[in-house]
Amino acid sequence: MGRIAVTGSVAFDTIMEFGGRFGDFILPDKTNELNVAFLVERLEKRRGGTAANIVFSLALLGERPLLCAAVGGGDFVDYAAALEAEGVDASTVLTCDDISTATAFITTDRDGNQITAFYPGAMARAAGVDLSKLPDVSEVVVGADDAEAMALHVEQARALNARLVFVPAQQIPAMADEVLRHGLEEAWLVGGNDYEFEMIRERTGLSIADLSSARLVAVTRGAAGSELHSPDGVAVIPTAPISEAVDPTGAGDAYVAGVIAGFRSGASPDVAGRIGSLAAAYVVEQHGPQHHRFDAASFRERYAAAFGFPLDLRSEDWG
């Protein structure tokens, strides 16, 4: 089996924690003149971005993923070294020396709801990331990125005859209808949370049932667990027990990484979804999307404890 090429954002995240609930401060009948401020109780700067988060967890899961993203020249050196130390291949990034890496400003309330502001920086040049000459690629992940780049990478995945994992996430509103629909149609696997799939339905008219008639659809529902829809039916996936819910940032990216790694190792949808669920649980227990750690043995042990049966995959050296 070939390598996984992962496109999408690489960013520095400024994470702020608000001890109240956004809903208590936002009046539904006044959203046309919204003016609110949240006094945050914690602020941290971390490494993040959809593509970087996904490759980080894929590497922990035993893969050697290719990071295919646009980054700044002066501020990515240490970030690249940290990713490569975990097993990520960062040799495929596009370095833009005259601009900084993207930066996200994320505020999370006590219920895990998030409000995000995003400066794209180098990500605006992601259309310059060329997948067409990458050797031995069997899966391409198209995550939230510059909209033009996402359209291009969907086409390049097709030209490579690679399985497309389409995770448009925050970029759903920015994509043209035809580009969004084309990515959905080309996908082997579509991933997102329930809110994002509702946006997709409103934009394209395609429901989860419509999408899953010809492909895999991974739907996360926060504390309610997740579902893997396929032409063969729906696998309902429980959440993995956690010691403490600390920070949800990046949990969805880890879930996607776990599902991909599971399917590449011969897992059924029931098992692949649980691998994703457990990978996400590790993230939720830490501050930041790339602070979790595990090895194959500890992952297998926790999987059995969480779900009541051992992790059974065709690949004996998985993880």
CB contact at 8 A, 296 and 62: yes
Rounded Cα gap, residues 225 and 222, in angstroms: 6
Q: How far apart are CA 281 and CA 316, in angstroms?
A: 23
- Cβ neighbourhood burial of 45 (10 Å; 0-12, 13-18, 19+): exposed
- Phi (first) and psi of residue 173, to 5 degrees: -65, -25
Structure tokens at 80: 């690249």
Q: Which of 253, 270, 295, 312 is catalytic?
A: 253
The structure tokens listed for 117 are 């502001």
CA distance 16 to 136: 40
Residue 317 bears catalytic tag: no
E-strand ranges in the chain read: 3-7, 11-18, 40-48, 66-68, 70-72, 94-96, 102-108, 114-119, 137-143, 163-167, 189-193, 216-220, 226-230, 233-237
Q: Residue 286, Cβ neighbours under 10 Å: how many?
A: 16
Strand arrangement, sheet containing 233-237: 66-68, 3-7, 137-143, 163-167, 189-193, 216-220, 226-230, 233-237
Decide: residue 204, CB within 10 A, 0-12 exposed, 13-18 middle, 19+ buried: middle
Eight-state DSSP code of residue 245: -
Residues annotated catalytic, as ranges? 253
